[in-house]
Structure 1
Amino acid sequence: MSITSALVLFSVIWFMTFLIVLPIRVRTQGDLGEIVPGTHAGAPEHHYLRRKAWITTGVSAVLWCVIAGIILSGWISVDDINLLKVMPPLE
């Protein structure tokens, strides 16, 4: 795995993890009862974005180590997930 592949893999894992972590513990304006006129009641009031970014980075680093270890060890290769070898030819 090259450095570029490793960075792309980490970026994909980070953003997927961030999108999962983002809605956790969001306090909306409707929850707090302080709705600003012109905004939706579901607009976030307290989103804890910095903490979520750090949590995402830690979880992503662990997941990246596991996935990169599997790729580098050769347990799973591109030939193992090649769907074209399994499918019959089109006529």
Structure 2
Amino acid sequence: MAMNWTSIAAIYVLFWVMSAFIVLPIGLRTPDEVDGHVVGRGHADSAPVNFRPMLVAKRATVLAAVLFGLYYANYALGWFTVEDINFFDAPVKDLGY
């Protein structure tokens, strides 16, 4: 069973955004954790002093690729279906896909 390339791109983007939020706080340090010195006026005490957006993007890309790979493998091979997670025996509608 194949998926359209537009669906692949849209689902990967969703995984990438979710992954970016997951990896965003990894490795960040506040001024209190580093040396207690706030960089300048307008810099919040809770703002990170070592924010590296390219590193966050790389980590998010790797995590999104892994998660999307698992998603696509499940889509193609049918490891888990709606029937597998239907705990209350509710009728499952066939959408005809």
Q: Under TM normalisation by the shorter chain, which class is it?
A: 0.7 to 0.9
**TM-score of the two chains, using structure 2 as the length reference:** 0.71
**TM-score of the two chains, using structure 1 as the length reference:** 0.75
Q: Is 1:75–2:76 an aligned residue pair?
A: no
Give CA deviations for 1:23-43 in whole Å, capped at 9, x if unaligned: 111122333322123321111
Gaps of 5+ in 2: 92-97
Gaps of 5+ in 1: none
CA RMSD, Structure 1 to Structure 2 (Å): 2.3
The one-letter code of the counterpart of 1:23 is P
- Equivalent positions of 1:1-91 (< 5 A) are 1-31=3-33, 32-35=35-38, 36-77=40-81, 80=83, 86=90
Compute the displacement of 1:2 (Å): 0.8
Total equivalences in the alignment = 85
Distance in 1, Cα, partners of 2:74 & 2:23: 24
Q: Point out the structure with the larger strand share.
A: 1
